Structure 1
């Protein structure tokens, strides 16, 4: 509120003063310095919720774009440019804040607020040229303006960074920083020094993980030489709306402004026409470990929330494929053009990061020709999202689609489907085929008969038989049969399944007769005298028997 009131007292100035000359001063009660087009003004501002004031540059209709991060006393704070070229802030309390002090006295100087939002101190020469001594653009706070740099000055060692606010009432630096990584040619956001978001590489004037719409009409400039490595942006054309990037804690926002100049005393007006989310960043140490484990151990991508929102058009109804028991499923397109399926788990699902990681780890162990490929995940605040490859021909078996729609391995039908998949993976066979002429059974029945005879090794896919641990295979078959038991209440939960898979101790429970298993005697009575076995015969036989729903 203080910012808007302060601006309103200056927007009506007809001939705004844009320069502080030698011997000039500026304090809390005097009219601030405004750029020629009254696009930006500089002055002392008392922030909402705080007692002290800051030296701030603000623009009309928008928050501050720059501030000196040390607060000063409201009643005595003064910005001055003395006749020796020293630009400083003084007050009765605390030491002076030196913005610039030359090695030796410089007498021909001026400090000017430009229409770019840059407050510059220059030395004037007799031939009409100027030398830049100091500029606010070298010390960004939470906002990056067009032509303002991110990167490093190799001559001085100074780094150009954007910082979030510490709190709503305390200015930068806060926990988050926006930086330019010149080696990888990408933008990064750090949270307390650790990277929590990356823009992806800059290729053909576009960042990989920032939406095309947000980058529309932007032109990026890179400088890489012995003097500096830097990044900056401008709008593609002078008449395009002005854009600014603001780091607001875990959010990197882009504001788009459009000017309308008038001939009245107001000089110019500006309004926000659009806001876009460029990045989201919110991580704990647990989350960092989680991401590292998924990348290193399973090759999964941890997507940032912004890219997921952009891919699904902000989870629009047009992109929605369906609604499962644990949340909606959407179709999406990544900036690379890859089509994806996004499963947005319900916020009431109740999983923590550890439980979610366990589920992802389990899915990764089930990479199978019939299982839709898991590409990665996204965690943002209470959101937990799974990202799958998109299957346009919809050729997945019914239970696989049910798995993707119904979410985490939680319902008993999911447990049954998981058991079927486990047996398919071990055997390399489909569940609905017929196996063994002497015993015309489906895969579940065939596995059950082998289990009872102690001959489970015969089930194993020959292509992997020589490279696997027999005990692990036996454990997987054991667990698979527990998952497909006749009565749903007898089947284990997924939490118990994860425990059995990770624990090398003996499994106490023994499997009982599976669901959808047709005994040997009934099969022989219903099949033809030739003992032929077809999928249709199995389906007819199974339909005549009273079964418990899976």
Structure 2
């Protein structure tokens, strides 16, 4: 039979070709809809040109190349918005550069990205082998879940934000992890930029913007209803914002409110602005409804008062005058105001109440005491005790808690939506300057005796100060504690953000009134107790005894240093408690106590196999490297020893006790002190004998500690070795005889990697060399410990030997001298 011809668009197709055409058409359609679903199952893959679309069609996931970039990224964007708006990037730091790209769930349950060479980039992994599904939800959340129970989410993109906060996402703390927004590097480069936005790193209830780690803007503290300097974030049009300060999590989130059709997003953009945007369908564009930081409606500078309803909008606070009167008259108010009269605490400074004003900015020079038991009278007393305090207010509108400001005041406004009462410190002359003459005359009979009494009190106070400087009585110490409380306050709330002042009653309750059952140990500073707060958080309380050798300066040093340091191998300071003569430091609780608890007890030492010991060695080295090189400060610990290495539940080491630590200038190689304090047996010779300390002093201590970890023997007490040598001398002797492995704790057995043990002993001997210049720096120590094949230089003779005379004098092997002032040590 003759084939019938079919015409298509002017072309003739024979009937015999129809089956082939139908097959090809179906194949094309099948390919086009292969990934029109919202999920990817185990064994499946998503390649370039294919996408997942959420069930309601709101979001799409696939590979994209931003702008003119040739790199490929896996991202999520809005499906129905014509302008591609990316809200999440999976591989922002690992772009695919070979033009390919594939997303898959491998047979081990890992969600991975593959490039053209098959090199994997891990996005998420499943804790258990099970059937998995990767699902794109209509919220924009990309989740890895159990295929048979999709409500069991194992991983989600909402916990790993990039630069965008979508409705329902939580910005803030989840456990110990702070979920932040990080800007793109540029509009064509999704890699991490210089700006971050999120909840305060110190768990203080405020949002902040950081530029390269430095705070550039903050919302002010949450006052129970909204943020002090950004009240609009509690309600912005139809969008409902919410701040949740719970015991388990501390986060900020928002939802569309009643208008579920609103498409909104919160972005930390490349210019350093945090923006809230909404899509306006009629205009087919994104509109900015809120952006910070921005210029204030009227910038009246320092100590100025802004009122948009008046003309001019700026005036100086009472007691202040324009700093530059000509500019002020020309309408340029940003130079602000200065005091008419200098403050003088001894001459009766007082406080001027400003009713119903927007409080000053809290970004600079402020402190917060967020204690509901503090009233406005307590705030006044706290501010009066510190001459640097320039203003105070309650934290919330219920009149509880205290804000203190130090220095100039900026951002005070009248006729503002959110107002509270502010009390500004003024000189006594400015407080009465505007009082009517008749009223002043009436006050003279009161004021003159008061001034005379003040002069007498000043004379008495001067005499008392002279006497107290000689006697150092208890009253002086109590006053020091009060000053310390104020000194810690502003630093603790701004520079040292991971820090709180705790109430004495709460600490007493948490520790069971410092019961013996909760006592963890005893040191030269005093006892340590375990405590538990009502929310279940466990703490360790270091309670300084009255006889403690750790004085006020060491106590303050520990607070101001450790609260600025954050590393997985440094103990975390939660806060402190000061009441009268009581001084307490509150740390995270370490369930496995300290390293010496295990090392120097034969039964417990056997629980530490070599793998655990080497893990501890590496952790201590990493913590020390952070202190010496990678932290914002350069810190010399000066008291590194086994009892100052705490162990968490997984035996991760945490360096603790920073009371003797010193900030060290990067321009200096060593410093000198007249007061040598530390622990005998761990101190380097140049420090013990000459008071010279440097990073090499800590290196020496690390070397001693490394030998102790290998041997389970304490250096100061090791007088029983052959020839009455201490641990260093004994290790040196065995090393020279080629018998260094005899140093190993016998409980380690024969299963240890002898090469690794020998290398640790070698590194330890290099650390304890007599001359500081011969010792390695910390970065070299980390490198030497982690490199199995690198050759190491031969060590020179270690610093200290304990002579036969000391051993013959009958000093028991268990003796240990802690935190002693060394006047003479036999050394060679």
TM-score (norm 1): 0.48
TM-score (norm 2): 0.33
